[in-house]
Chains A and B, each alone.
Chain A
Amino acid sequence: MNGGFQINHCIHCQVTVEASLQECPLCGKKLTNTRLSVPRSYPAYALHNKSSYYFQLFWKTLVPLMFIGAFLIPSLITLLTGEGDLWLNRETLGIASAWVLVRYTFLSRMHMGKKFLLQIMNISLALFIFDHVGEARGWSVNYVIPFMLICSTLAMMYIVYKRKRLWSDYAVYVMTLIFLGFLPSFLYLIRVTSLLWPSAAAAGFAIVSLIAVYFFLDKNFRSYFNRRLHF
């Protein structure tokens, strides 16, 4: 009785070992009489697992560390001592923002809706800082961010409308995005923004979206709330 097991022996452990193994799994000693032609119980694990591991290690750990070492720490020292150059400028922020873009879209397995939302915030923040480094001109909050919010809400709503199956998965992100539409108006109220109409348009669009969500998707919407909010 060896259950279709083609076998080999480890003299040290006094056990039988699967024929295709080259070392004893218990003591690690080299085995004689290994027959590689006999099929193994487990697959040989592909090397891509390992290379993707190092690739991820590089992007997720090393790159941010390099960035912190090369830019942030010198900047901090500059801030504290008042000597040297301030590295926290447009270029370094551009690099940081691009890294967030790569790291959290291509290298991340997170939910598409979340990726989308995160990148909108990433780009908005980057544009805002670009705009306000040196002399503040306000183009980011006045025009770009309100219109970007309108377009992205529209895009997300369109995707969810086309593929209703996605609704329950995306709802949380659609709702967050809609509520972000009120942010430019808030910025106007606290006088960060100087131009009213694009911000007002974004808020108006957010209200229209809420109504649309309520009427067009209302059946799913209600069942969605039952599920999400049960306690």
Chain B
Amino acid sequence: MMPTPETSPHIELRSLDELWFQVAGTVCNLTCHHCFISCSPRNHSFEFLSYDQVERTLRESLEYGVREYYFTGGEPFLNPDLTRMLIRTLDFGPTTVLTNGTVLQDDWLDRLRRAEQNSRYSLEFRVSIDGPSPDINDPIRGNGTFVRAMRGVSRLCRAGFLPIITMTQTWDDRQTGPILSRFRDILKQHGCDRPRLKILPRLKLGAEQQRTEGYGVTERVTPDMMRGFDRDQLLCHHSRIVTSRGVFVCPILIESPDARMGSDLSDSMQPFEMKHGACWTCWQYGTICTNTTWMKSPTVEARSS
């Protein structure tokens, strides 16, 4: 555990807008060097969620007025019940799944597309690929992963989805423009005629902490920094994540014991002390995990509700 400054601000849960499921635990077919929760085929510190757990939580979520549901891992599609869970979730609300794109199968995607067409809500796919070519992506995500993930993107487009590609930025800011336009071209060549791209900052946790460096002691959010700050920028202001080991404050901190809030949603409503280095990254970059960007705005503060 890292040293913490004397006081860290607390953040309250304004309302439960997004509910996350860590549906594949920490199990992943890849072992990316920048994974902020060190997922791997052998990391069973968090296990798969069962269909019944998801169903129970969906029902429990109704009274909180959850707006959207997110599925993450590890790699969600390693959970054999995922397709069924996603189809069920579309009865409750908009659904997003974060995948590495390497294990997708056409028949799952066809079923999901039909389910989306029968639902009033959208099913979004976010595929993590860290650059427009193997030489940028593969050193981080593993040999051959660029080609495999792009094959997944083609499958998604063929099935009728418009995947969002998320890239963790490992390059210099000045290269961002050229990288984006190169990626758009590559995506078009793979049958994705409306490329949607999103760049994420690195989180210096998990495997990434080993790869580069962890957070310095001064990289912390202080009470001063929260004055006048638009709290909607922080995921923990409006989200929680359900895991095999209980409900945690956010998808980022599940390896920190203090981030566990309780065993079900009703236990997880209390404020959280933002004493982690990752909180500092969130403070800098805003809501990095959801599809909706909460708009940065100095004046249009959410009225507490």
Same assembly: no
Instruction: Identify the A interface with B (CB < 8 A).
Output: none
Instruction: Identify the B interface with A (CB < 8 A).
Output: none
